[in-house]
Amino acid sequence: MRYSDIRRHLQPYVIVARRKTTINHAFAAAVAPCDEFEESRIREAIVCLGQHPDSELQCVYCGDAAETWDHVFAIVQDSTFSGYGHRLGNLLPCCKPCNSKKGNKDWKQYLQSLPLPPAEQTERIATIERYLRKFLLPDTVPHHLPEYQELQKIKEQIIGLMSQADVIAKRIRGHNAV
């Protein structure tokens, strides 16, 4: 750590700037479809990825020990539900560094950016594509439902209230100015 790292702590906290993404994810996750845990299907999926279900799983991108599950296609896109949820076909075993670095990037572009031998990249891409063809179910974005529209309005109200709170907090900080 460097002394200059304190800079981010020596500035006003802005609720909307820091939490809008969290709110968008919470509302998208609330409507995202999810599969039930069905052991035989999950074991089949792991085998399709070229791994053994009774062994420690490996990151599908780099091959290190998997520590988490990556959403192949992000749940949130452009601040709203993408149409992809917590479905077996949208989840891949992944190490934390790859999950963090990939973020919302396209999985194939991310994999191609890794320093892997070309033959290994090609094999990993083919494995993931085979997995997606077999297990990724087409999700539909329920934008047309009145309930979805109502939920979006509530989300916007919350974000609006957070913006109002930021204005009030700024006024309160102004009273503490030295």
The predicted pLDDT at position 19 comes to 84
The predicted pLDDT at position 167 comes to 92
Q: What is the tens place of the pLDDT at every residue in 10-42?
A: 888 888 877 888 888 888 888 888 889 999 999
Q: Which residues of the chain have pLDDT under 50?
A: none
CA torsion 88-92-93-94 (nearest 10°) is -150
Rounded CA-CA distance 13/8 in Å is 9
pTM of the full structure: 0.78
Q: What are the respective helix, strand and coil percentages of the chain, to the nearest 5?
A: 55, 10, 35
Rounded CA-CA distance 89/78 in Å is 22
